[in-house]
Structure 1
Amino acid sequence: MTFTELARCVQLSVSRCQRRVNELADSGVIRGYRGIVNAAAVGLGFEVVAFATLSRADAIHEFDAAIDAVPEIVEAQRLFGEPDYLIRIVAADRDAYQRLYDEQLSKLPGLRGLNSTIVMKEVIASRGLPLVRGHES
């Protein structure tokens, strides 16, 4: 969305809208900007959702650091209860995921179990928070 479009949606002048966006970024409300890349177009069209369970509670920080170091893990959330984590993983294909699993994922520190499922279809892509009303993308 351009500043002009955003300004119209929130009924501010473009200059005031730009200042407000900068203030939101400076205060940490806006954490950053990103482009959304078509994973299949860059050779990462195989997606897996995995659920990880840890063997011990004291492994949390080590596990967090270890999954952060795996570039193919594009999203991870620590959960209440079991499983302990929901992890989204991308790979080129099934064979590439198998290698990643065998060489890295199965060896994550404190891991008791990793249950995964292949994503069949992306129904809703990652999208922004529903904060602005009246704007059609």
Structure 2
Amino acid sequence: MPDHKLDDIDRRIVQALQADGRMSIQDLAGKVGLSPSPCARRVRLLEEAGVIKGYVAVVDQDKLGLPVSVFASIKLERQREEELDRFAAIVARWPEVADCYLMTGPRDYLLRIIVSDLAAYERFLKDKLTRLDNVASIESSFALGQVKRSFSVPVELGKGV
């Protein structure tokens, strides 16, 4: 599957599983117009090709007592490959960091950090982020509210491999 494009049935399978990853093969097959065996085979091939990377439960961070999302823009002193890789490897281990993106523009990384309150972010900042070598500056922005959060990729817009 890695060397050919997704067809319409593959796309429908991915869309359906993004909406409900716990859907049974029977239900999925009915939704995409296949019988269960070929549907299961296609799902397995999509998983093996890495199109489907895994399955997760979407959790409400507020109900877990973690209502604060902070976006931190990080500028490094040096942008050599080994420095970028080192920073990425360290922050990937921190549970507070929900998302980390290597960026273009004036900042090197954008992190989304999830914490319980302002004091928890201050501890994270002082105990972890500011102690990293090679961090030149940190700019933090606090989310006031969430307008949209999607866990789906717009399958219909992709070219697919």
Structure 1-normalised TM-score?
0.87
The residue type equivalent to 2:62 in the other structure is: A
In the aligned structure 2, how far is the partner of 1:23 from the partner of 1:69? Answer: 30
Any conservation in 2 of the 1:76–1:88 contact (CA below 8 Å)?
Answer: yes
Q: Which one is further off, 14-23 or 71-80?
A: 14-23
Q: Give 1:123 deviation, angstroms.
A: 1.3
Q: Give 1:11 deviation, angstroms.
A: 2.3
Any conservation in 2 of the 1:75–1:88 contact (CA below 8 Å)?
Answer: yes
Runs of at least 4 residues off by over 3 Å: 3-6
The match for 1:96 is 120
Structure 2-normalised TM-score?
0.75
Q: 1:5 to 1:121 in 2, by over 3 A?
A: farther
Identity across aligned pairs (percent)?
32
The match for 2:146 is 122
Any conservation in 2 of the 1:66–1:109 contact (CA below 8 Å)?
Answer: no
The count of corresponding residues between Structure 1 and Structure 2 is: 133
The residue type equivalent to 1:67 in the other structure is: V
What is the alpha-carbon root mean square deviation over aligned residues?
1.8
Gaps of 5+ in 2: 1-19
The residue type equivalent to 1:74 in the other structure is: A
In the aligned structure 2, how far is the partner of 1:13 from the partner of 1:122? Answer: 40
Gaps of 5+ in 1: none
